[in-house]
Each structure stands twice: as C-alpha cells, then as structure tokens.
Amino acid sequence: MPGTTTRTFDVVVIGAGPVGENVADRTTAAGLDTVIIESELIGGECSYWACDPSKALLRPALLHSDLRGVPGLERAADQALDTAAVFKHRDAMASEWDDSSQVEWLNQAGISLIRGHGRLAGPKEVTVTTPEGDVLLVTARHAVAVCTGTSAALPPLPDLDALRPWTSREATSAKAAPARLAVLGAGVVAAEMATAWQALGSQVTLIAREPGLLPRVEDFAAELVTERLRESGVEFRFDSGIAAAARRGGSAGSDSEFDAGSDSSSDSGEVHITLVDGTELVVDELLLATGRAPRTEDIGLETVGLKPGDWLATDDMFTVDEVAGEWLYAVGDVNRRALFTHQGKYQARIAGAVIAARAHRRPLDIRRWSRFVGTADRAAVPQVVFTDPEIASVGLTTAEAERTGQVVDVVDYEIGRVAGAVQYRTDYRGHARLVIDRRRQTVVGATFAGPGVAELLHSATIAIAGEVPVERLWHAVPAFPTISEVWLRLLETYRDSAAATL
C-alpha cells in the first residue's frame, strides 16, 4: 500500500501553468513558503498546447499572406510554406514538450514542487497522489490557490473515444497536415486553427451552428476574416452542425490525451460526418473547437462544500465566494472572469499580493483594489485573434453596448487609408472602430481588424483602463508613417460628427 506523508507550507498552489507560477512567484517573493502541485508539464496549457505552439503555427502563415502585398516579394508568396521548418519552430516554441527549464526556474525562485494530482481534502488541506502511487497530505498555513485552468469542452457526440477527434491539443501539436480537416466551431480556436492548417496544406471545412464566424467580435472584423479564409480555400457550413460522426478503418491510435507531437499522417482511418441537414462529409481529422470547461471535476471541491466540475466564482481579491475564511483562491481561467493567459497572470499578481498581505496582517484598501481589478478584468480586457487579418479588441463591442443600454457613439475608419498601412502592404484591407461613452467622452471599446493591428491594442487598453478623455487623446501624437495614425483619423472623424462635443 502506498505510504502517506504530511507536509506543511504557508501557501499551496494547485496547477503550475503561467497563472499558478505567478501566484507562487509573488507569495514566495513576499517571504511565504510556497509549494506548487502539478500532474502534467510545468508551464501548463499555454506553453505546450495553446498560446506558444499555436502562434508558432500561425505567424508563418500570416507573414506568407502579407508577402503578396509587398512590392518585390510577391513571387516569394507563390512558394508553398516549408511545413517541416514551421513544425520545427513550433516544437522549439513548445520546448519539445520538455519542462526541465521550467523546473529549473522554480528552483531558482525558491518554489517547492510536488508532481502529482492534487485534490482538496478539507479547509487548507490538499492530498497529492504522486506518479509512483504515494499519497501526500499537504496543509497550508494561510492559503490554497486553485489554478487548474480549463480543458476542451466536447459536444455530446456518441462514441467519442472511437471517433478520436482532435481537440486544441492535437491541433497545435500534430506533426503533419491532414489532407482534409473538418473544424466544428465558430470561435477563436476554430478560426485560428482553420487559418493555420489551410496555410499548412490541409483542405479545411468549417462547420458551425452559428450564422457566421467569431460571433463575439464586431461584425466587420468577423466578415474580413471570413472573406480571407474563403479566398484561401476554406469551405464553410454555417447554420449547421454534426448529427453523427464515426471513424472507419485505420489503427486504434493513441489513447493518450497528452500525445504531444502526434503524427496525423499515420493510418488512423477516415472520419465520416453527417451534418444536421443530411449532407455527408469524409475527412481525415475532425477538430472539436466547441469551447472550454473548468478543470475542477476531480479536485475535491465537494470537501469544501462546492460542486465538482463548476466554475469557481470569486470576489475581486480572487477569494472563492462560497467558502468562508479567506483561505481558498481561484485564479485564472477557472474563475471564468476572463479566459486569457494575460488576464490570468494579472489576476495571479493581484492574488499573490493579497495572500501575502493577509498572511503578514497588512491592511488592504479593498475598495480601491476592487475598482482597479474590476476595470482590468471586465471593462478593459484585451484580446488578439491571430487570424488573417488579425483582430485586436478591448472593451465593449457595439452590440454589447446596446445590450447593456449604454449611450455611446460609434466611430469608424478604414485603416487602408492611412499611409502607414499602405507601407505595410499595398492592398491593405482593414477597419477600425471606437466605441465612445457619450456622457463621459471616454473610449469604452476599440476593435482593429487588419494586418499588423495587434500592436495597436495596448494604446487602446490604456485609453480605456485609464479612462482618458477624448480631448486628452488628441495630444497623444502618433508617429508617421505608421498604422497607429489611425488613432488620429478616428478622432478627426469623431470631431466632425454631429454627436461630438469637442
């Protein structure tokens, strides 16, 4: 029988992704003895199966597309991508799925590590089942932080095990492009992976129950991406869905959910799909990009009065709402406030500071912190969709402003009319929109769609988070000739509109 050992720390962190690492870094730096518990790779989903490898696949595809609009480089765009080089770069960005450098960082930071599956066992207690089968009881003097993130939410298709679909993990780690790839979904993962794999040689068919792509962004941005994907050869089946799917022929393949770097060119059989309208498709792989679910099913929530599998609601200090005593924290995607790595790391910095302050009995200005956190985590959440073209957005969309009853002015400008955009590529297609609070005369939303617009986003985030008046923005002078000159054009358009009060 495996033995049981008890260890005690000031702070216990469950989950060693970027969020858990940042919580542990902040509490350790504040002098608290901290341990981090992880059952997979140190560095988490973002490092090995999401942010880093997906952008490594997408960047060559986007740059290849941009070449067509740069004088003197058009012929280079006619050459196919060197997929072997792209995959090699992707593997390097994912550290070859080796976390030794991350472990070294933990050691240098003075953070303890226990590998194994952590489960709450009651207030300030966590049991850890190690890979060797030993069971440790880890107790916290001050706090336990749940930073377990999310996993792919799968639709209720029958016989999913036999179907062996791709999730985002397989889509970012496959070693070869399937000849035919079906993508189920209309969100960011679906759009980005359709962009990447079409460029890498797959014939992509995107299936969505929604009437269009990217339903949560401004319509003009979604339309630009859809148009470009269609031009690249992606086929769309909107207002549709999958009624049935089955894999026929081929070997059983790997049962491992974590089979990083799998070779999709192996004989895995074909996937036969029946759509809701009776249409049949045959593809080599099916990617299910149908959302995310919290990784809380088996972390012992029932031992502290919570329901396994639920999202963990928190206050603005990231203390779990329904657990008394200010000892349990939920940080990052698992609290469903903003499912982005950058937001999770921001939350981790706040949570680490709060845990340290409470442990050292230092006063917290809760009202001040809540105001700032509420802005950063709700009103000014930035996002980049790395499609062709890119979409960079922060704050409210037009539809969200209307839905919440805010009185706003909407200002639009074609980015291709800016000199810096034409320098970027001669056939630049892009659009910018500001959503402005009419009463306060501050920007509450911004969306940019076009090549290279990701670098415009932080200026918009600062404008919203800082509640900078439009009158003051006039004195932030954009450099010429850059795409950022679109800010000046947007302000001029607003000044010239009847609604402006400048």
Segments making up each domain of the chain, as ranges: 4-48+94-151+293-378, 160-290, 389-496
Give the closest residue to 98 by CA, choosing from 153, 150, 43.
43
Q: Is the pTM of this model over 0.85?
A: yes
The pLDDT of residue 361 is above 70: yes
At 43-81, the pLDDT tens digits run 999 999 999 999 999 999 999 999 989 999 988 888 989
Query: How far does Cα 140 stand from its chain's mean position?
Result: 30
What is the mean pLDDT of the segment spanning 252-263?
A: 45
Beta-strand runs (E) in 163-303: 180-184, 203-207, 235-237, 242-248, 270-275, 280-283, 285-288, 292-294
Angle at 164 between CA 193 and CA 255, to 5 degrees: 115
Instruction: Provide DSSP, 99-142.
Output: -HHHHHHHHHHT-EEEESEEEEEETTEEEEE-TTS-EEEEEEEE
The pLDDT of residue 2 is above 70: no
pLDDT-derived band at 254, boundaries 50, 70, 90: very low
pLDDT-derived band at 371, boundaries 50, 70, 90: confident
* Bridge partners, residue 185, by sequence: none
Task: State the fold for domain 4-48+94-151+293-378.
Answer: FAD/NAD(P)-binding domain (3.50.50)
pLDDT-derived band at 255, boundaries 50, 70, 90: very low
CB atoms within 10 A of CB 217: 22
CA distance 68 to 425: 8
CA distance 290 to 385: 16
Prior bond to 18 cis, omega within 30?
A: no
Please, how many CA atoms are within 13 Å of residue 17, restricted to the half-sphere of its CB? 29
The pLDDT, as a whole number, for residue 364 is 84
Give the closest residue to 411 by CA, choosing from 465, 473, 466.
473
Do the domains 4-48+94-151+293-378 and 160-290 sit in the same CATH topology, yes or no? yes
pLDDT-derived band at 168, boundaries 50, 70, 90: very high
Q: Which DSSP category does 375 fall into?
A: I
Better pLDDT: 206 or 4: 206
The pLDDT, as a whole number, for residue 499 is 53
Share of the chain above pLDDT 90, in %: 89
CA distance 385 to 391: 5
- CATH numeric code, 160-290: 3.50.50.60
H or E, element range at 268: none
What is the mean pLDDT of the segment spanning 386-409?
A: 96
* Bridge partners, residue 8, by sequence: 139
The tokens for 270 are: 């074909």
The pLDDT of residue 244 is above 70: yes
What is the mean pLDDT of the segment spanning 294-303?
A: 98
CA distance 257 to 410: 45
The pLDDT of residue 194 is above 50: yes
Query: How far does Cα 48 stand from its chain's mean position?
Result: 13
The pLDDT, as a whole number, for residue 405 is 93
Give the closest residue to 387 by CA, choosing from 65, 172, 153, 45.
65
pLDDT-derived band at 302, boundaries 50, 70, 90: very high
* Bridge partners, residue 428, by sequence: none
At 93-127, the pLDDT tens digits run 999 999 999 999 999 999 999 999 999 999 999 99
- Structural domain 389-496, CATH architecture: 2-Layer Sandwich (3.30)
CB 142, CB 32: distance < 8 Å:
yes
The pLDDT, as a whole number, for residue 440 is 95
> CA 181, 91, 342, 407: dihedral to nearest 10 degrees?
-30
In order of 41, 183, 286, 287, 453, the CA distances from 167 in angstroms are 18, 10, 8, 6, 28
Give the orientation angle of helix 18-29 with respect to helix 100-109, to 10 degrees. Answer: 20
Average per-residue pLDDT for the chain: 93
Give the closest residue to 329 by CA, choosing from 59, 75, 12, 31.
12
